[in-house]
Amino acid sequence: MMVIACPFAWIDSPRREEQGPTRNSLTPVDELAAAGIPVAIGTDNISDYMLPFSTGNMWEELKLLVTGCRYTDLDNIINVATINGRKALGLA
């Protein structure tokens, strides 16, 4: 299994889990990495109805994911931004 995170697509949606009332809807990259599940970064909101000012900037998507999850594992963040996307597409 692999996960493609689209942070701006989910930032305005509540995460529906019973674990606690303060969780956000961002992909829990820290929990998935701990479970050995690769996460890649993506977007599907380039100037669309829900996010009309989104430009598809992957650095902005990555920054939101890392900041929103308070995730600081630099080695895995690099994988999220690079190799994991290739893996998700079957290119690596």
Bridge partners of 15, per DSSP, are: none
pLDDT in tens, 35-89: 999 999 998 877 777 777 778 889 999 999 999 889 999 999 999 999 999 998 8
Amino acid, single-letter form, for residue 23: R
Contact status, residue 8 vs residue 45, Cβ threshold 8 Å: yes
Which pTM does this prediction carry?
A: 0.78
Give the closest residue to 41 by CA, choosing from 92, 90, 91, 78. 78
